[in-house]
Amino acid sequence: MKLAQNFNYSEFTKTLWDKLDQRTQIMLQAMANLLQVIRTEIGKPIVISSGARSLADYKRLQSQGLNPSPTSDHFYGAKVPCQPGSAAFKKYGATYNLAVGAADMVCPSMDTVEFYNFIAKMRYAGKIKTGQLLLEKNNTMWVHIANFMDPFLSPAEKKLRGDWSLSGMGYSLNNGKTWTKLDQAKKELLPKNLK
Ligand SMILES: [Zn+2]
């Protein structure tokens, strides 16, 4: 099933469409629309490496002894349990359901830093509205992009999340341990020589 000209539903999740609640469907469609605007402007294929994560994915990672974040936008509005005593639990309570939808992606025919900066320039120019826009690196680099939050969160929910978690721009080269933020007021881009 196509969500947009160049993006199929199956690129975002393995869960069957009918099994998703309506809010998640709307968030997925919004993400496909956003990526299509970028895809059309850049004129090159975009590959999604991670789209929607389900509660089952979260529990599987936990059972493997990993420590998945319950507050990731990849959960597309699902109610994710927060570990008692954790920072998320203290801030949000027993469950977190403020995820607005996100995708991790690369543009295989383009350097990932250049790809990020292309999207950042579109955002600065007002051609797209996005939530968090991040360059992340584990072994490889990818761009994490989240939906613009306004259709999905109330003013109180936005305040609870805070500006960085809603619409921050920046990068991490150590799998999210530390972040360097970009100055959006100065329309700052990523340094070209990031490795
Ligand atoms: Zn991501």
> How far is it, in rounded angstroms, from Cα 184 to Cα 145?
16
In a domain, 53, yes or no: yes
What percentage of the chain exceeds 90 in pLDDT? 83
What distance in angstroms lies between residue 159's CA and the mean position of ligand 1's atoms? 22
What distance in angstroms lies between residue 100's CA and the mean position of ligand 1's atoms? 12
In a domain, 195, yes or no: no
pLDDT for the residue numbered 179: 96
pLDDT for the residue numbered 97: 94
CATH of the domain at 8: 3.30.1380.10
pLDDT for the residue numbered 57: 87
pLDDT for the residue numbered 15: 87
What distance in angstroms lies between residue 99's CA and the mean position of ligand 1's atoms? 12
In a domain, 121, yes or no: yes
Residues of the chain with pLDDT under 50: none
In a domain, 113, yes or no: yes
Burial of 151 (0-12, 13-18, 19+ CB in 10 A): exposed
> What pLDDT digit, counting tens, does each position of 109-166 carry?
999 999 999 999 999 999 999 999 999 999 999 999 999 999 999 999 999 999 999 9
pLDDT for the residue numbered 61: 85
pLDDT for the residue numbered 183: 98
What distance in angstroms lies between residue 20's CA and the mean position of ligand 1's atoms? 20
In a domain, 194, yes or no: no
- CB atoms closer than 10 angstroms to residue 18: 6
Give residue for tokens 């613009």: 148
How many domains are there within the chain? 1
Tell me the residue range of the domain where 85 lies: 2-186
pLDDT for the residue numbered 98: 97
pTM as predicted: 0.95
In a domain, 150, yes or no: yes
What distance in angstroms lies between residue 49's CA and the mean position of ligand 1's atoms? 9
Which residues are CB-contacts of 131 (< 8 A; sequence separation ≥ 6)? 73, 100, 102, 145, 146, 147, 148, 149, 166, 167
What distance in angstroms lies between residue 139's CA and the mean position of ligand 1's atoms? 14
> How far is it, in rounded angstroms, from Cα 96 to Cα 99?
8
Give residue for tokens 């100065």: 186
What distance in angstroms lies between residue 105's CA and the mean position of ligand 1's atoms? 8
In a domain, 192, yes or no: no
CB 167 within 8 A of CB 181: no
What distance in angstroms lies between residue 3's CA and the mean position of ligand 1's atoms? 20
In a domain, 153, yes or no: yes
